Structure 1
């Protein structure tokens, strides 16, 4: 898996959101450096779990669509004396 690399602007948004969370929910102030450090840690250590879950969810959706497509193709099939 490649490491997700956010742009400077994206990272700034994430850092601000993290700082807001700390202030609102934990009544703690966290500086930009600490927030960036924590964001990097979460991305590196926890991010892969979310990434993999996204892949599993995408695979489930894709499998359902393939099954629907197979059913649609089966419905088009004409009766013949041949067997599968």
Structure 2
């Protein structure tokens, strides 16, 4: 799997969310540097689980849509005369 990378803007927004979470929920201040390290750790260690779940969910949607397409195609069939 390719390493997970985020844009600068995405990373900044994630850092803000981590800092807010630590402050609001844990009553601890965390710096931007520490928040970035936490994001990198979570991306490396937990990212594959979320990535694989996303692939699974996408496969499920694809299979459902393919099945629907199969029904639509069957409805288009013309009766054959003998």
TM-score (normalizing by structure 1): 0.89
Q: How do residues 9-48 of structure 1 correspond to structure 2 at under 5 angstroms? A: 9-48=9-48
SS of 1:36's partner is helix
Deviation at 1:80, TM superposition (A): 2.5
* Number of residue equivalences: 82
SS of 2:80's partner is coil
Q: How do residues 50-65 of structure 1 correspond to structure 2 at under 5 angstroms? A: 50-65=50-65
What root-mean-square deviation, in Å, do the aligned CA atoms of Structure 1 and Structure 2 show? 1.4
Give the structure 2 partner of residue 3 of structure 1.
3
Spell out, residue by residue over 1:38-75, the C-alpha distance to the aligned partner (whole angstroms, 9 max, x if none): 10000000011111111111110110000000001111
Distance 1:66 1:52 in 2: 21
Distance 2:42 2:73 in 1: 45
Unaligned runs of 5+ in 2: none
